[in-house]
A = this chain, B = another copy of it.
Amino acid sequence: MKKLINNPQTVVAESLRGFGRAHADLVRVNEDPMYVVRADAPRQGKVGLVSGGGSGHEPLHAGYVGPGMLDAAVPGAVFTSPTPEPIFEATKAVDGGAGVLHIVKNYTGDVLNFETAAELAEAEDITVRSVVVNDDVAVEDSLYTAGRRGVAGTVLVEKIAGAAAERGDDLDAVTAVAQKVIDNVRSMGVALTACTVPHAGKPSFDLAEDEIEIGIGIHGEPGRHKVPMATADEITDQLLNPVLEDLKLADGEPVLLFVNGMGGTPLSELYLVYNHARDVLENRGLTVSRSLVGNYITSLEMQGASVTVLRLDEDLTALWDAPVNTPALRRGL
């Protein structure tokens, strides 16, 4: 294992300390318990947005804390859910009296720990709602999940719900917007290589030199099947077709096309995948009206990519276009 780390036990804390120092204009890092909040938290009268989950998916979630997106992010150990306490403390830290929305990726540990944190917060008279992101069409149940997993669609939920909270929507309305994104977003990913969790010290799974895993999870958990290495166009088809089958888009509908890198794949390859995915969508009569390409939710140094399609309407488009100013996503501020 070759990694730029000092000690597998302290990677998350050391990295988060660096993150906080590099972005002190935007965020404040609390080290014990560990969470990240907007530098100006709590914002009185604004719905607070809290997300979190295991580390190793950077820039998710801490990179999305700031005006127009999350109010707080709660990182667990690498690929391990945060415990209820830091989620509860982060919820308190961002409560501005208008309630707090928890955005939870659908993994059993995350769901349970966010639920417990919500109960603790409710006991202190903070109103909490939750949404569960489950955009991964690859598998119905998996190693860490009952139901579909939450993957790259989470970034879109956080951006769009964040914009709704920023414009002053109340808790019910922000929750409804987040749920609308969840209902209209689907993703699927591929791994070309495995990744290595620092405290494990060896790759999470095995892939032969000429083999890839279609439908991979963001923790390297199994997908649909291992297949021989193929061209980018063929791989993109294998990701995009199940997404489109599930979404059942009408002719001419506007969509957001998001090609995400798993961490170790060059940006140039992501744009190449985007190019073919866009051809496929346009050939089906769809309109790609918004795009996102880059490493937004990763699996450490895994090589691979995922393709996400979100059905847009006028409101979702306006919220997507709204200003955002976070360490990892900035636009129009």
Contact = CB atoms under 8 A, between A and B. Distances in A.
Interface stretch (A7-15, A86-94, A107-115, A145-153): A7-15
Given A266-B298, A266-B301, A293-B18, A272 B331 contact: no
A322 to B, nearest CB: 14
Interface residues of A, number: 61
A6 B233 contact: yes
A278 B11 contact: no
A229 interface: yes
Interface in A223-273: 229, 231-233, 235, 263-273
A200 interface: no
A226 to B, nearest CB: 13
Interface stretch (A54-62, A120-128, A129-137, A177-185): A54-62
Given A58-B267, A301-B265, A301-B266, A6 B272 contact: yes
B11 A268 contact: yes
Contact of A265 (B4, B231, B332): B4
Nearest to A300: B266
A55 B268 contact: yes
Contacts of A273: 4, 18
Contacts of A3: 192, 232, 266, 269
A167 interface: no
A56 B210 CA distance: 23
Given A6-B272, A275-B15, A267 B59 contact: yes
Given A2-B192, A4-B235, A268 B303 contact: no
